[in-house]
Structure 1
Amino acid sequence: MTPTNTTAAPSGATPATDTPVVELRGAGKAYGNVRALHGVDLTVHPGKVTCVLGDNGAGKSTLIKIISGLHQHTEGEFLVDGTPVRFTTPREALDAGIATVYQDLATVPLMPVWRNFFLGSEMTKGPWPIRRLDIEKMKQTADAELRNMGIVLDDLEQPIGTLSGGQRQCVAIARAVYFGARVLILDEPTAALGVKQSGVVLKYIAAARDRGLGVIFITHNPHHAYMVGDHFSVLRLGTMELSAARDQVTLEELTNHMAGGTELAALKHELAQVRGVDVDELPEEKDLTAPGASTKDGTA
C-alpha cells in the first residue's frame, strides 16, 4: 500500500440547527436472550450537549457501542443526518464524523504530546518509498489546535503521561475536533478526576459545543451534567427513564431520577417502619417527573 500524507483540516464551527446529526428511534440491543437496551430515543444536534446519565448497568456502555459502530442495534432505527445507517466498524462511524473519547483516552503515556495527537494519522513528507515523519509540522499543528481550544502547554515534547487527567482529556477532545468530528462522545470524562480537573474538562466540553459539535456526555454525575447540558436522558435497566430539555427539569429532579428516587418513594412506607430512619425528606413519587418531560412510559 502506498503511504499518503495526512492532510486532515480542522473543522469549523457549525451553527446549531433543528436537524439532528445523530438520532436513535426506539433503538435497542439484545445479546441472545439478554436485552441490554430497549426502546431508546435520543437526538444529538449540532452545537448542543446531550447528557446521558445512568448508574452501573443502566445501558450507557451499550449505547456508546451502538453509536460508535462497535456493535449494531438489533431493534429500532439509527440515523445520521436523517439517513438510516448500520455501522459495522468504528472506522465507518469515524468517517461519518462520530468520534469517541473513552476513559482510557487511547494514548501512549510515554510518547510526547504531539505524537499522541497524531497517533495513527501521522503526517509524512518526502517521496515514496522513503517518506518520513514531518515532525515539525505535526508539532506546529498540534500546538495551534490545542491553543484554538484554549489549551496552552509549555512543552509538547513531554510525555502525555506526565499531564494531569484533565489535561489528557482535553488533548483527546482537541484531537477529535481537529480530525473532523461532528459528534463527540465522551465516556465518563470526569469519573476519575478531582473537582478542579473536572471543571477544566467541563470547560472544554462547552468549548467543543461552541465550535458547533454535537456532544454526547456520558456521566453518572448529575451536577456535572447540569453545568453544561442542553438535554438530559436518564437510563435505567436498559430503558429511558427520563428525557427532558434543560428548561423542563431542575437539578434536584435530575438527581432524584439518577439516584433512584422513584424506588425510594415506593419504599418510603417501609423505611418509615425502620427505627432511626428519617423519611420526611425523601421524595414523594408524584414529585419526581419534571413538567413536560418524557418518561419511560411515554407520558408527560
Structure 2
Amino acid sequence: MTSEDSAKRTGSPRESPVVLEAAGLVKHYGGVAALRGANFQVNAGEVVALIGDNGAGKSTLVKCLSGAEQPDSGTIVLDGVPVVLNSPTTARKLGVETVYQDLAVAPDLDPAANLFLGREVLRKGLAGTLGMLDKAAMRSQAIDHFRRLGVTLQSADVPIGALSGGQRQSVAVARAVLWASKVVFLDEPTAALGVVQRERVLDVIRRVRDQGVAVVLISHNMPEVRAVADRIEVLRLGRRVARFTAADATLEDLVGAMTGALSQEDTT
C-alpha cells in the first residue's frame, strides 16, 4: 500500500499552506549515506512529529532544515521559494528556529535575559549608542510573551538555573517562538522531564501551533507524539517511509513503519 492509498495513514490535505518542504535530500558523511533522498513537509499552524529509529536520519534532516548542515543534493523550499540554508544564522533570519535537547540556556541569567540573548534591546538615545540595555523593556515584553504562551514561572527575576526543568524548557521554547515566524524545531523537548513538567511543555507546544507557527517535534516518546502531533512522518534508513494522521495512527502502525514491518513506500 502506498502513502496515497489510505486516509488513515496519510490524512486529508490541510487547508493551511505549506511552510517548509524538503525534496530528495541526500547527505553523505564519508562513505555513510545519512539521507538517501529524504522528503519532508510541514504546514502553518501544524505540529508534525518526526520519528524513526536510531540512525534513521532524523538529526541529519533537522540539521539540514535548520542550516547546521548542508545537503549534498536536493531542494529546500520555504514559503514556496527555494532557499539555501547555509548556516543557522541564515535559517533564523528566515524565521526558522531550533530548540535542542541540551536547552542551550544561560543558567546565570534571568528568563527575560535568556529570551533576548543575542538580540538584546538597547535604550533609546545616547545610552543605546553606548550599548546600554533596556532591561525594563525586555522584562515587560518577556512577561507578555510568557503570558500569551501560558508559561508560568515561579519568578521572572531569578536566574534560570534556579527554575525547574520544565520551566527552563518552556523558556527555551518560548525564546524560539518569539523569534520564529515560520518554523520551530524541537529536539526531544521533554526527554528529561517528569510527568507534570512534560504536560506543561506540551501545552506550550499546542499554544505555539495555535498561533500559526509550524512545529516539528523530534521524539522517541510515542504516546507523547500521538497526544500533541497533528501528523507524523517516519524516517527509516535516510528516507521518509510513511506519513500518518496522528489521531488515526496506532502504536503498531508507527512501530511497524519504523522497523520496516509496515510497507508504505513514499511516492511523493
TM-score, structure 1 normalization: 0.79
Alignment coverage as a number of residue pairs: 253
Q: Report the secondary structure of 1:140's partner residue.
A: helix
The answer for unaligned runs of 5 or more in structure 1 is 1-15, 263-287, 290-294
Given that 1:27 and 1:73 are in contact with CA atoms closer than 8 Å, whether structure 2 keeps it comes out as: yes
Partner residue of 1:115 out of 93, 113, 116: 113
Q: Residue in 2 aligned with 1:94?
A: 92
For residues 224-272 of structure 1, what are the alpha-carbon distances to aligned partners after superposition, in whole Å with 9 as ceiling and x for unaligned?
11001111111122222322223552233224434x372xxxxxxxxxx
Distance in 1 (CA, whole Å) between partners of 2:90 and 2:147 is: 29
Q: Residue in 1 aligned with 2:254?
A: 254
Q: Report the secondary structure of 2:75's partner residue.
A: strand
Distance in 2 (CA, whole Å) between partners of 1:297 and 1:84 is: 22
Q: Residue in 2 aligned with 1:225?
A: 225
Q: Residue in 1 aligned with 2:200?
A: 200
Distance in 1 (CA, whole Å) between partners of 2:171 and 2:67 is: 23
Distance in 2 (CA, whole Å) between partners of 1:85 and 1:161 is: 37
Is 2:181 the partner of 1:178? no
For residues 178-221 of structure 1, what are the alpha-carbon distances to aligned partners after superposition, in whole Å with 9 as ceiling and x for unaligned?
22432010011111222222111111111110111111001111
Partner residue of 1:54 out of 32, 41, 52: 52
Q: Report the secondary structure of 1:124's partner residue.
A: coil
Q: Residue in 2 aligned with 1:76?
A: 74
Change (3 A) 1:130 1:48: same
The answer for unaligned runs of 5 or more in structure 2 is 1-13
Distance in 2 (CA, whole Å) between partners of 1:252 and 1:164 is: 34
Q: Residue in 2 aligned with 1:32?
A: 30
Q: Report the secondary structure of 1:21's partner residue.
A: strand
Give the 5 Å matches for 1:9-20. 17-20=15-18
Change (3 A) 1:197 1:137: same
For residues 32-61 of structure 1, what are the alpha-carbon distances to aligned partners after superposition, in whole Å with 9 as ceiling and x for unaligned?
322101121111100111100122222111
Superposition RMSD in Å: 1.9
Shift of 1:297: 5.5
For residues 2-44 of structure 1, what are the alpha-carbon distances to aligned partners after superposition, in whole Å with 9 as ceiling and x for unaligned?
xxxxxxxxxxxxxx74421100112221123221011211111
Structure of larger gyration radius: 1
Distance in 1 (CA, whole Å) between partners of 2:209 and 2:222 is: 19
Distance in 2 (CA, whole Å) between partners of 1:195 and 1:230 is: 21
Given that 1:53 and 1:221 are in contact with CA atoms closer than 8 Å, whether structure 2 keeps it comes out as: no
Q: Highest relative contact order (Cα 8 Å, sep 6+), 1 or 2?
A: 2
Distance in 2 (CA, whole Å) between partners of 1:182 and 1:190 is: 22
Distance in 2 (CA, whole Å) between partners of 1:107 and 1:197 is: 17
For residues 98-144 of structure 1, what are the alpha-carbon distances to aligned partners after superposition, in whole Å with 9 as ceiling and x for unaligned?
11011122211121111111111111113154231111111111111
TM-score, structure 2 normalization: 0.88
